[in-house]
Amino acid sequence: MGIKIVTFALMAIFYTCYFAKMISQKKQGINTDQLGKGKEGFTKFIEVTLKVATYLLPVMEAVSIIFCDGTIYMAMQIAGVIITALGVFAFVLSVIQMKDNWRAGVQREDKTNLVTTGIYSISRNPAFLGFDLMYIGILFSFFNWYLFGATIFTVAIFHLQIVNVEEDFLMEVFGEEYLAYKKKTCRCI
């Protein structure tokens, strides 16, 4: 029961940060949710799929936490909680350090800065890494095959978003500055 409570608490911290940032930016006139808006073709497919997956997976996770006793191995459950906590920490830190440059999706009309310091000096995509670690951690703690399939699918869509949308956008907008950053900082870790 304790692992379930801790996992729900970590999810609450994660999503409170996510939605609080969106609300805060909206009050400033910044539209944070750019997923699928004004896009076409494969980019629109990736972003819309990502949006749907990131709303459905937490529901599947919650159902798994409520109805699954967790894996039979306590060490795997504890490892899952630690991985989840690392993901929440990475995400919250990335959102704080990104300041008002943070968006869900890309929009060419928005003028943002390339953030390369703090956690962004360790990972080019710490927010995505945070999502992935949280999803994988919850999967470790409350493994079932439905959650496994949904988690793998969502992590794959995040990767497509990074490789086929985010990196192309950053290269187009920031050019040599992004290329130099890309050379010295890993995509994830």
Question: What is the Cα–Cα distance from 135 to 113, expressed in whole angstroms?
Answer: 28
In this prediction, residue 38 carries a pLDDT of 73
The ranges assigned to domains in the chain are 39-105+124-189
Average pLDDT over residues 138-154: 96
Contacts 24+ apart (CB under 8 A), 28-33: 28/100, 30/100, 30/110, 31/107, 32/102, 32/103, 32/104, 33/103, 33/104, 33/105
Let me know: does 105 contact 157? Beta carbons within 8 Å.
no
In this prediction, residue 44 carries a pLDDT of 87
Residue 1 has pLDDT above 90, yes or no: no
Residue 63 has pLDDT above 90, yes or no: yes
DSSP-derived letter for residue 185 is: S
In this prediction, residue 77 carries a pLDDT of 92
What do you get for the CA distance between the two ends of the chain, in Å? 32
Q: Which residues pair with 104 in a beta bridge?
A: 33
Residue 39 has pLDDT above 80, yes or no: no
Tokens 């953030």 correspond to what residue?
115
